[in-house]
Amino acid sequence: MKIRKIAITLIIICILIICIFEIGTLILKKLYPMEYSEYVSKYSKEYNVDEKWIYALIKAESNFDTNSVSQSGAVGLMQLMETTAEEVASDIGIETVNLKEPECNIQIGTKYFTDLIKYYEGNYHLAIVAYNAGIGTVAKWISNGIIKEDGSDIENIPYKETNNYIRKVLKNYRTYQELY
């Protein structure tokens, strides 16, 4: 009789743990959604980048708000500057740029990010830093010895916003990997 009560108690505890884990996962999936998946999937495949990187960037940049505009004037889901967006759009044959339109923003943002990855020869850390601070700033930091060419010392990034930004994007990426 005592063994039976212990067994039932253990079963109930196991069920509760599973339920808590499932609820936690459901909450995390609400906090880390995969919105606009048709566009993220399409352009991640087209430009050969893991779609979880794109979700991580969108989460960090706009938290999936298509109408988001930063203080510096970056617009939309992937927070693109008009001049950067027009340059990238021209390269891929887009004539009309509407950065508040999800497909347009995701296509241009994904292409720009993959261009940065290629520019930095597959170094995602430097590509992410440049996405936020710009290629020129990253070049200056490297030439002044502030950060290494391999991007392994992100803790040395002198701009607090960029320092926090890369950490946020990397955390978002790990979370998307774990959830999906």
The domain that holds 128 is classified in CATH as: 1.10.530.10
Q: Are 152 and 135 within one domain?
A: yes
- Three-state DSSP at 12 gives helix
| d(C-alpha 7, C-alpha 54), whole Å | 46
Rounded to an integer, what is the distance from CA 133 to the centroid of its chain? 15
Q: Are 105 and 26 within one domain?
A: no
pLDDT of residue 90: 96
How many domains does one find in the chain?
2
Q: Are 43 and 25 within one domain?
A: no
pLDDT of residue 2: 79
Q: Are 41 and 126 within one domain?
A: yes
Domain residues for the domain of 26 are 1-31
Q: Are 113 and 61 within one domain?
A: yes
Q: Are 11 and 93 within one domain?
A: no
pLDDT in tens, 121-171: 999 999 999 999 999 999 999 999 999 999 889 889 999 999 999 999 999
Q: Are 152 and 125 within one domain?
A: yes
Q: Are 85 and 170 within one domain?
A: yes
Residues with active-site annotation: 61
* pTM (2 d.p.): 0.88
pLDDT in tens, 51-65: 999 999 999 999 999
Q: Are 27 and 62 within one domain?
A: no
| d(C-alpha 112, C-alpha 102), whole Å | 15
Q: Are 15 and 104 within one domain?
A: no
pLDDT of residue 22: 77
Q: Are 83 and 147 within one domain?
A: yes
Q: How far is CA 160 from CA 124, 151, 155, in A?
A: 19, 16, 10
Q: Are 26 and 41 within one domain?
A: no
**Could you give the angle at which helices 160-179 and 51-61 cross, rounded to 10 degrees?**
130
Alpha helices of the chain — where are they, by DSSP H? 2-31, 37-46, 51-61, 82-92, 102-119, 124-133, 135-143, 160-179
**Contacting residues for 119 by C-beta, under 8 A, at least 6 apart:** 127, 130, 135
